Each structure stands twice: as C-alpha cells, then as structure tokens.
Amino acid sequence: MQKRKLGNSGLEVSAMGLGCMGLSFGYGPAADIQDATKLLRTAVERGITFFDTAEAYGPFKNEELLGEALAPFRDQVVIATKFGFEAGETAKGMNSQPKNIRNVAETALKRLKTDRIDLFYQHRVDPNVPIEDVAGTVKDLIQEGKVKHFGLSEAGAQTIRKAHAVQPVAALQSEYSLWWREPEQEILPTLEELGIGFVPFSPLGKGFLTGAINENTEFDKTDFRNIVPRFSQEARKANQVMVDLLSSIAAQKNATPAQIALAWLLAQKPWIVPIPGTTKLHRLEENIGAVDIMLTANDLQNIEGAAAQIQIEGARYPAHLQQRVGK
C-alpha cells in the first residue's frame, strides 16, 4: 500500500484509509462484532494504517470496537477520533467546551485501549465556543502527550485559519467526491496554502457512486440516507447519469465505478487521503484496488469534461444538518 503525508504535519498514513462509522451507526443495523473485527484486521493486513471513528458513532460503540480489534496492531496504525457533541449524541447538539474536549479525550483513550489519540478532530464547529479556545485545548492535550495531531471536520476557511494560528491543523475532514465538489472553491486552496492534509469522507457518495444503488433501492428504516434529499427516489433516478459516466470509464480501465471514483480523488492532490467505509470484505478489497489505478491527464480531462455536463440533483444534507457545516 502506498503512503501519503497529511500536509506538513508529518503524519504519514496509507493512501486509502477506512471510515468505520457504518460498522456501528448511520447505515442501518450495526455489523456483527466478529464480522466487523475481521474486516478491521483484514484492512490492516492489506496495508491500511488509517482508521476513522468518533465518540458519536454509536455513541461510543465504534471506538470500543476499534479499541478491541486494533489492539494487536496499535503501533502500526493511526487512529482518528472526534469530539464536539453533547454526551456523544448528535441529536443533543454541539459541545466543544474545553472541559468536554478533555473529558472526551480521557474516555476515548480508555475505549480505544491506547495511551494517545493520533488525530483528534472537532466533529463540527461549535458556534458557542471560540475556535481559538478549541485549538488551545487540543494544543494542551498534545503537550501532555495524549493527542498527537489536531483536525477539523466540515469547517469553513476562516475557521481553519483561526484554528491553525493557535495549533497547526494536520487535517481537515469533509465530504468530497465527484458528486460533491464544493471544497474545490475555497477549502482546497486554503489547505494547500497552509500545508494541511485533506481527508474526504463519503468519497463514494454514501454508496451511490458504487453503482449498487438505484431508484428502486429500499434502505433500512434506521438508515440515515432516508432523510437525505439527494437520496430521494427522483434524485437517485436523475443522478444515475454520474454512475453511468463512471461505469463507462471503468470499462476502459478494467475497473469498477467505485475504483474510478476513488482513483479520481487520489489524483487531485498528493495530500488527499479518502476514507471510504464498508461492512463487506469484497468492497474493502475493491476500494484498496483503487490505489493501483492510474488515471492519465487525458483520463482526468475526459472525466472533468463529462462531469461538467452533469447536474447533480438534491441537497447533500437535510436543512437541520446543513446548518452545522462550513462554519
């Protein structure tokens, strides 16, 4: 597995990470613990060294799962987790008060069975706590050896700059893929200027860009996608044209649509590390295979030209969640 460095931080990780949320939360019933453990350990064996979790995934269940599954490999892997919600529950709203950040760090260390958090993200920007206070608290945790690197998630450019001035930000995590390209406008140039790595989540469009979802797909009643406008039946029907584009390129490259979507992301910048999630071993293998697909300048130009003709339908979040991003 190739390695990449997240900006100027010196934090080196596998070129492809693993988003672990879906093993416990968000996309229907939690995976069986034994199956999830096998998936995580297979990922390590296949060269993945970068694992993404959060106290809010469960809450707490996902961190506990990773702590147990990755314990034998702790010194070979980089674990990222997140703080920023009241009692770890997204429905209860934000809490990035310094006292809560410290509490999350202490309890996450126990759940993860470790003595340090490699990358500690603020999960969403808290409008009630100055970002300088957040960055300062994480800076103290870094000085105490409990945290190695500071990250932000879904933050706007101004917030990134303010935080970075207090404690260098190693990575920003936000949604980015061929069907959500807003970060290209302001975020990517800011990260490049400041030397911050970028970790795209939902790099496969919450599963849509794999080609496994169509207008007739029915999600489990607990699946988050049921409330996402972009996953309404009409939007899925309209957005199929993006999957068709990926499929046509995949056919030329002896690859899958998902692999092309991931290879496209990897080709954008050398400091981009996508974190696709999955509960299935065959999907894990498929995603890892994307690292070896080289898209030429001509391929990228063709994708760009074709994608520019496609109008993606539907907002990526319902209104109440959209309010939490880009601050």
Number of domains in the chain: 1
Q: Within a domain: residue 124?
A: yes
Q: Is the peptide bond before 98 cis (omega within 30 degrees of 0)?
A: no
Catalytic residue IDs: 57
pLDDT in the model for residue 46? 98
Q: 304, exposed or middle or buried, with CB in 10 Å at 0-12, 13-18, 19+?
A: exposed
CB count in 10 Å sphere of residue 318: 13
pLDDT in the model for residue 148? 98
pLDDT in the model for residue 191? 98
Q: Within a domain: residue 98?
A: yes
Q: Within a domain: residue 255?
A: no
pLDDT in the model for residue 292? 97
pLDDT in the model for residue 317? 95
Q: Within a domain: residue 55?
A: yes
pLDDT in the model for residue 308? 94
CB neighbour list of residue 14: distance below 8 Å, 6 or more residues apart: 1, 2, 3, 4, 47, 48, 49, 50, 273
pLDDT in the model for residue 294? 93
Q: Within a domain: residue 24?
A: yes
pLDDT in the model for residue 241? 96
The whole-number mean pLDDT for each consecutive block of 10 residues of the chain, a chain of 327 residues, reads 97 98 95 98 98 98 98 98 97 97 98 98 98 98 98 98 98 97 98 98 97 96 96 97 96 97 98 98 98 96 95 95 92
Expressed as residue numbers, the domain containing 23 is 3-204+268-293
pLDDT in the model for residue 231? 97
User: Cα–Cα distance between 289 and 34 in angstroms, integer?
Assistant: 24
CB count in 10 Å sphere of residue 158: 12
pLDDT in the model for residue 216? 97
What CATH code is carried by the domain that includes residue 14?
3.20.20.100
Q: Within a domain: residue 244?
A: no
